[in-house]
Amino acid sequence: MGQLARAVGRAMGVTLRNLFRKPVTVMYPDTPRPYPDRFRGILALVYEKETGEEACIGCRLCEYICPPQVIKVEMLKSEKRNYAKTFTLELYACEFCELCVQVCPTDAIIMLKTFDLATTDRRELLLDKDRLHALGLQFEPSWATGNRLRDMQAPPKAPRGEPKAEGKADAKEPAE
């Protein structure tokens, strides 16, 4: 009996302590939660800032690199540059690995600083080109673009005039 009373007393103590604590529940989506600075969420396509044209040139690199093969692109050839005739992304099967962003030569596909696309209907997560562009306009982009990510991976270049590091000599150097 004594053991039981002590256990009940301990449990009631925990209940009492929590009764006067500030609630930690956030009433999302009425109260938005700020995402961390480096958060990268759902994918989108963007327009070029200078021209307002679609930044995607339909090169299909993102399609080739995507591990679960959820991207499908058709290229539209044009005189000055190419475009994506169609672009679909099955977001419900995306792994969010970011490889598509890393390979994009024109920074056309990006990740957004949001995850606010919850739905009970999978069909709403089959994103076509228009929907992907609309998402790009609707939400804040994340810091990461293909060019920035590639720059981070490249080995730092030696300042001009400095000799090349050992083992990286020019391949055309004559043999002794």
Question: Which residues make up the interface to ligand SF4 (CB under 6 A)?
Answer: 56-62, 65-68, 70-71, 73, 84, 89, 94-100, 103-104, 106, 108-109
Structure tokens at 58: 């339909």
d(CA 93, CA 98) in angstroms, rounded, equals 13
Min dist CB 128 to ligand SF4, Å, is 13
Q: Specify the residue, 35 or 106, whose C-beta has the smaller distance to ligand SF4.
A: 106
CB of 140 to ligand SF4, least distance (A): 18
When the beta carbons of 94 and 112 are compared against ligand SF4, the nearer one is 94
Query: Taking the complex as a whole, how short is the minimal distance between the CB of residue 2 and ligand SF4, in angstroms?
Result: 59
Q: Residue 65 or residue 117: which is nearer to ligand SF4 going by CB?
A: 65
Q: CA torsion sign, 123 to 125 to 131 to 137?
A: positive
Q: What type of residue is 49?
A: K
Instruction: Give the Å distances, CA to CA, from 24 to 21, 27, 30, 73.
Output: 9, 10, 15, 44
> What's the Cα-to-Cα distance from 175 to each of 123, 169, 170, 172, rounded to whole Å?
63, 12, 11, 9
CB of 156 to ligand SF4, least distance (A): 26
